[in-house]
């Protein structure tokens, strides 16, 4: 059984004696605090924090992290407070323990919400000290190693959470050793039979491949020795989940995956990496398009290496990774390498860079958290953003920006700055104008064009892929909708108050604020927004406000404020009905729809028949003298079938300064066809001009506007 003395012996390799004494003191404190507590397996509880500290010792973490590992369950599972820990072991250790612990025991109806809330707390703790997540990962790793004592359903839940969140975070921070083990342990818990079969097959295949691996390894080593290049060649093993994913996603057999031989060459410096690359390319022919230079452009998690694939003897594919010893430590320990080098008093740029990148990532998480509507939305963003395949593009100044595969111009704009994303209207890719939805490729140079009054568009959500862009767009749209609904709610409430010969401005000062509690809201804007979005009737609110001033009020006389004026540029709270396609110039009428605001119909629209009996649900609208948008309208045209008719119609519509949004043809008989045309026009006059032109075409019969 592993003891504290065994751990102290291991720590002697990189920590001074006084720091080892503090780690031992933390262990004895935890042992006393957890006295009498046992794990599900029956072992004393203190074996868990000791094992977590041992995992951190493998990564050469500092003494405060090791002390936090010893004490990480003390606040949650015993009566010890954070303040008591601070007095005993210092504020830094107490903050670490507080960050790792589940700070409160809140009961949620939905376990997914509970997990998301806990993850949000962890992100906040990470923002104070990034070591929190490293201790948490070590804690989760030991829990995964000891899943055996739990119920099968609990095993699967913990394994899924580990795979979706913790393994990805370990990968994002570059801690590859923990990531691989978490993935394989999760795979075993979720799919025990598949895991066991692949494990047996791998073991069997390694036996058959041993001689081939030795042969390739010796030829690579001989190549380095002959050229006088420093380097050690080692075999690289695929882990179980990686094999399973390739079999499932790439539809490959187990034999096809195991036919690829992987090797890693560890050398002294960056110069040797590139010289070794040249040597192995001389030994075996490289596969075109399979070379990646992660030394010049590191991955987001700080990973650096040269990757190449070679044709071995008989066409056998050989994957080779070439890196320095520092890069190897970085690949295995990621951000933890930062403390490894600090412990050796030799701060390396590669480790410092990984720490800076991790801090930047956590800052991005905090920004997403501020924009997310709730904890579940936030955690969904994080899942989508973790562990992407990256592309690299350039700003006009030559700075490199890293984005996930499939990212668009809008993703790039938001990665530069949220304000640039919110106000972007166009883009130049390699000096040529391109749509905002363009998919980006590595090596492109991008210049974003912005405009002061520009706003995000709901259609952007259909093509952006980064979590930062998606959460920022949703946040901006919510804010935009709220502002517009408040403005509309004010107009609707004033219109309803006009029935009682008053208005918001004429109500006594403070009267509306005094009635907010009775109306079930906290702020005036909240009340107005709910009216604008149709969740509350303006007339009912107006009556309540007037009732509070006088008893049994009655509407006095006709409405004096006239109809609501609309232009089509009101934004998200004015919607135009698709059943009748109202145009400027048409008599129009409106009704409120929950969540949509005002829906505008033509006055004769049959879909409003059920509402006409209740005049409070409908209100008069009129068009402003200037319109700021084009409006869709549907036409149904009967024509004689002939070649080139569609092109002729399209040309005519374009010449009339209108756009075709949709066109469809249905055959009526051998001689006649029906053309269904949806156009974007300015108003009724514009439409009348287009219809007149279409009527003048030969072979055109009946033409009418579709209303319902």
Of 407, 410, 415, 390, the C-alpha closest to 468 is 415
Q: Number of H helices and number of E strands within the chain?
A: 28, 20
User: How far apart, in whole angstroms, are the C-alpha atoms of residue 180 and residue 176?
Assistant: 6
Q: What is the DSSP string of 413-452?
A: HHHH-HHHHHHEEEEEETTEEE-TTPBP-TT-BEEEEE-T
Active site residue 76: yes
For residue 134, give every residue at least 6 positions away whose Cβ sits within 8 Å of its Cβ, in sequence order, or none: 56, 59, 61, 65, 173, 175, 335, 336
Q: Annotated catalytic residue: which of 6, 9, 35, 77?
A: 77
Q: What is the DSSP string of 110-160?
A: SHHHHHHHHHHHHHHHHHH-THHHHHHHHHHHHHHHTGGGS-HHHHHHHHH
Active site residue 77: yes
User: How far apart, in whole angstroms, are the C-alpha atoms of residue 73 and residue 49?
Assistant: 8
Q: Calculate the CA 213 to chain-centre distance.
A: 41
How are beta strands 446-450 and 432-434 bridged, if at all? unpaired
Three-state SS at 227: coil
**Token pair 């002697």: residue:** 12
User: How far apart, in whole angstroms, are the C-alpha atoms of residue 608 and residue 611?
Assistant: 5
User: How far apart, in whole angstroms, are the C-alpha atoms of residue 285 and residue 249?
Assistant: 28
**Token pair 């070591």: residue:** 131
Q: How many CB atoms lie within 10 A of CB 71?
A: 29
Bridge partners, 390 (sequence order): 404
Q: Is 558 exposed, middle or buried (0-12, 13-18, 19+ CB in 10 A)?
A: exposed
Three-state SS at 599: strand
Q: How many CB atoms lie within 10 A of CB 64?
A: 22
User: How far apart, in whole angstroms, are the C-alpha atoms of residue 189 and residue 149?
Assistant: 12
For residue 575, give every residue at least 6 positions away whose Cβ sits within 8 Å of its Cβ, in sequence order, or none: 593, 596, 597, 598, 599, 600
User: How far apart, in whole angstroms, are the C-alpha atoms of residue 212 and residue 504?
Assistant: 86
Which pair of structure tokens corresponds to residue 577? Answer: 């009905």
DSSP state of 315: G
Q: Annotated catalytic residue: which of 76, 259, 293, 447?
A: 76
Bridge partners, 433 (sequence order): 428
Q: Could you give phi then psi for residue 566, rounded to 5 degrees? A: -125, 155
For residue 201, give every residue at least 6 positions away whose Cβ sits within 8 Å of its Cβ, in sequence order, or none: 254
For residue 250, give every residue at least 6 positions away whose Cβ sits within 8 Å of its Cβ, in sequence order, or none: none
Q: Could you give phi then psi for residue 461, rounded to 5 degrees? A: -65, -20
For the CA atoms of 643, 647, 651, 653, what is the dihedral angle to 10 degrees? 100
Is 225 in contact with 283 (CB distance < 8 Å)?
no
Q: Tell me how many degrees the CA angle 542-547-551 measures, rounded to the nearest 5.
A: 150
Give the containing element (helix H, strand E) for 606. Answer: none
Q: Exposure string (b/e) for 133-149, b if CB count within 10 Å is 16 or more?
A: bbbbbbbbbbbbebbee
Q: Which residues are catalytic?
A: 76-77
């Amino acid at each position: 059984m592993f003891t504290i003395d065994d751990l102290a012996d291991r720590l002697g390799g990189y920590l001074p004696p006084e720091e080892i004494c503090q780690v031992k003191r933390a262990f004895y404190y935890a042992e006393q605090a957890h006295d009498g507590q046992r794990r599900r397996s029956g072992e004393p509880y203190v074996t868990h924090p000791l094992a977590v500290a041992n995992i951190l010792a493998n990564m050469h973490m500092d003494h405060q992290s090791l002390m936090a590992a010893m004490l990480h369950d003390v606040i949650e599972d015993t009566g010890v407070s954070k303040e008591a820990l601070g007095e005993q072991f210092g504020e830094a250790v107490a903050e670490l323990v507080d960050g790792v612990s589940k700070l409160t025991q809140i009961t949620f109806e939905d376990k997914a919400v509970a997990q998301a809330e806990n993850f949000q707390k962890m992100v906040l703790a990470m923002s104070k000290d990034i070591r929190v997540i490293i201790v948490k990962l070590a804690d989760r790793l030991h829990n995964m190693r000891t899943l055996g004592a739990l119920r099968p359903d609990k095993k699967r839940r913990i394994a899924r959470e580990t795979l979706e969140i913790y393994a990805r975070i370990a990968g994002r921070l570059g801690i590859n050793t923990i990531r691989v083990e978490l993935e394989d342990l999760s795979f075993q818990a979720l799919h025990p039979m598949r895991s066991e079969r692949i494990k047996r097959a791998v073991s069997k295949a390694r036996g058959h491949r041993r001689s081939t691996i030795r042969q390739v390894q010796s030829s690579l080593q001989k190549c380095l020795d002959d050229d006088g290049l420093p380097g050690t060649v080692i075999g690289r093993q695929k882990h179980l989940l990686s094999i399973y994913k390739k079999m499932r996603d790439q539809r490959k057999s187990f034999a096809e995956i195991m036919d690829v031989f992987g090797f890693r060459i560890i050398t002294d410096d960056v110069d040797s990496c590139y010289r070794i690359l040249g040597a192995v390319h001389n030994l075996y022919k490289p596969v075109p398009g399979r070379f990646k230079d992660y030394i010049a452009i590191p991955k987001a998690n700080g990973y650096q290496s040269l990757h190449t694939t070679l044709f071995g003897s008989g066409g056998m594919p050989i994957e080779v990774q070439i890196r320095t010893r520092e890069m190897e430590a970085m690949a295995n320990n990621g951000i933890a390498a930062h403390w490894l080098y600090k412990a050796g008093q030799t701060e390396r740029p590669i480790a410092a860079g990984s720490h800076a990148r991790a801090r930047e990532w956590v800052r991005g998480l905090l920004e997403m958290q501020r924009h997310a509507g709730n904890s579940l939305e936030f955690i969904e963003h994080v899942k989508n953003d973790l562990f992407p395949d990256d592309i690299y593009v350039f700003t006009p100044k030559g700075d490199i920006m890293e984005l996930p595969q499939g990212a668009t111009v809008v993703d790039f704009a938001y990665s530069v700055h949220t304000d640039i994303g919110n106000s972007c209207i166009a883009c130049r890719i390699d000096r040529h104008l391109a749509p905002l939805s363009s998919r980006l490729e590595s090596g492109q140079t991008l210049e974003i064009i912005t405009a002061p009054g520009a706003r995000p568009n709901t259609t952007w959500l259909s093509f952006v892929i980064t979590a930062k862009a998606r959460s920022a767009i949703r946040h901006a749209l919510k804010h935009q909708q709220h502002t517009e609904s408040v403005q509309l709610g004010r107009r609707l409430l004033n219109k309803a108050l006009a029935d009682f010969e008053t208005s918001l401005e004429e109500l006594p000062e403070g009267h509306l604020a005094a009635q907010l509690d009775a109306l079930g809201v906290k702020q005036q804007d909240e009340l107005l927004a709910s009216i604008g979005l149709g969740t509350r009737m303006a007339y009912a609110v107006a009556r309540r406000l007037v009732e509070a001033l006088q008893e049994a009020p009655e509407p006095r006389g006709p409405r004096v404020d006239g109809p609501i004026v609309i232009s089509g540029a009101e934004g998200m709270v004015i919607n135009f009905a698709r059943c009748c396609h109202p145009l400027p110039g048409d008599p129009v009428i409106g009704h409120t729809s929950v969540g949509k605001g005002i829906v505008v119909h033509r006055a004769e629209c049959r879909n409003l028949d059920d509402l006409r009996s209740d005049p409070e649900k409908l209100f008069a609208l009129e068009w402003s003298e200037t319109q700021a948008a084009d409006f869709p309208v549907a036409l149904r045209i009967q024509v004689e079938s002939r070649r080139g008719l569609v092109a002729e119609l399209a040309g005519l519509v374009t010449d009339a300064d209108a756009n075709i949004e949709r066109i469809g043809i249905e055959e009526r008989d051998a001689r006649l066809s029906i053309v269904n045309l949806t156009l974007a026009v300015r108003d009724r006059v514009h439409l009348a001009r287009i219809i007149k032109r279409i009527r003048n075409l030969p072979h055109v019969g009946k033409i009418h506007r579709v209303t319902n």
